């Protein structure tokens, strides 16, 4: 299945046209026609890109994007709207949109803008495959095959990212402590052991494990 796109537009006929065209282009779509439902679907569907009309009932596109940006700074958001004045366009980019499509536009142009935004997003975000789950450091999440997420704490995420970048190599305790906690006054041994234990539980259903090399450090390796 291709990348997932959440499309929200209260113009139902044009929305369906965009939806079907993008499906034929290899993407997985969820289409809704109001902002509140879009926000609900964002938390359920976990899209790779959002296409939001600005003028929608319940929650408008600008406010919807603001709400999403409080938790996700990286997901590409494209505004699609008939509003074309400079202040509205500037407002969209200040909120953090990736692109701005002014109606009317052709479906081919839409596809090109979507492809461009996803290419930029892919370059900026590393995704690691850990057995039957993907790991996104930027989203602090383990992503299951059904699209559901296992959220990592700030420090769990830092540890897992280091271990992934040094896969199957032993990372020394002192190096990990400095990289994760800087100069904070903590019980390093107990804190690292607890952190590794919590992370190990979240990785339990994958084929990888956080291995403790006693007296030396930790490594991420595939279980035999």
160 & 142 share domain: yes
**ω into residue 104 within 30 of 0, thus cis?**
yes
Among the candidates 107, 124, 141, a domain finishes at: 124
Please choose, from the candidates 38, 24, 47, 46, the residue with its C-alpha nearest in 3D space to the C-alpha of residue 111.
24
Round to whole Å and give the CA distance between 108 and 63. 27
pLDDT of res. 123: 45
63 & 147 share domain: no
Per residue in 66-114, pLDDT (tens digit) is 998 887 777 889 999 887 666 777 777 778 787 888 888 899 999 998 9
118 & 150 share domain: no
47 & 87 share domain: yes
Q: Burial-class residue 84 by CB neighbours within 10 Å (0-12, 13-18, 19+).
A: exposed
45 & 25 share domain: yes
Please choose, from the candidates 117, 154, 120, 118, the residue with its C-alpha nearest in 3D space to the C-alpha of residue 137.
154
Structure tokens belonging to residue 58: 């319940």
Query: Could you tell me which residues come within 8 angstroms of residue 187 by beta carbon, excluding any fewer than 6 positions away?
Result: none
pLDDT of res. 121: 58
Q: Is the pLDDT at 20 greater than 90, yes or no?
A: yes
CATH number at 70 reads 3.40.50.2300
Round to whole Å and give the CA distance between 26 and 49. 14
Round to whole Å and give the CA distance between 61 and 117. 18
Give the Cα-Cα-Cα angle 154, 158, 160 (nearest 5 degrees). Answer: 115
Residue 12: which domain range? 4-124
115 & 176 share domain: no
58 & 168 share domain: no
Among the candidates 85, 106, 124, a domain finishes at: 124
pLDDT of res. 71: 79
Stretch (H or E) spanning 88: helix 86-95
| Structural domains of the chain, count | 2
103 & 132 share domain: no
Round to whole Å and give the CA distance between 178 and 183. 7
Among the candidates 124, 151, 171, a domain finishes at: 124
Quote the longest CA-to-CA distance of the chain: 65
pLDDT of res. 198: 92
Question: 175: how many CB neighbours lie within 10 A of its CB?
Answer: 13
28 & 70 share domain: yes
82 & 48 share domain: yes
Please choose, from the candidates 78, 83, 106, the residue with its C-alpha nearest in 3D space to the C-alpha of residue 7.
78
Round to whole Å and give the CA distance between 57 and 63. 11
109 & 133 share domain: no
118 & 134 share domain: no
Look-up of token digits 């537009």: 9
**Considering the chain, what percentage of its residues have pLDDT values greater than 90?**
38
């Amino acid at each position: 299945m291709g990348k997932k796109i959440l499309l929200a537009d209260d113009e139902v006929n044009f929305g369906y046209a965009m939806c079907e065209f993008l499906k034929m282009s290899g993407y997985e779509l969820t289409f809704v026609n109001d902002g509140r439902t879009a926000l609900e679907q964002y938390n359920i569907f976990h899209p790779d890109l959002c296409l939001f009309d600005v003028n929608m009932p319940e929650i408008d596109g600008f406010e919807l994007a603001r709400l999403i940006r409080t938790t996700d700074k990286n997901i590409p958001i494209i505004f699609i709207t008939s509003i074309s004045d400079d202040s509205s366009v500037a407002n969209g980019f200040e909120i953090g949109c990736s692109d701005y499509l002014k109606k009317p536009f052709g479906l081919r142009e839409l596809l090109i803008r979507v492809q461009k935004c996803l290419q930029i997003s892919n370059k900026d975000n590393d995704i690691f495959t850990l057995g039957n789950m993907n790991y996104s450091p930027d989203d602090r999440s383990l992503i299951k095959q059904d699209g559901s997420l296992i959220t990592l704490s700030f420090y769990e995420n830092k540890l897992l990212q280091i271990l992934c970048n040094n896969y199957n190599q032993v990372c020394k305790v002192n190096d990990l402590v400095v990289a994760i906690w800087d100069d904070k006054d903590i019980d390093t041994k107990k804190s690292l052991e607890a952190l590794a234990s919590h992370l190990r539980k979240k990785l339990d259903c994958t084929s990888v494990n956080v291995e403790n090399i006693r007296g030396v450090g930790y490594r991420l390796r595939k279980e035999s």
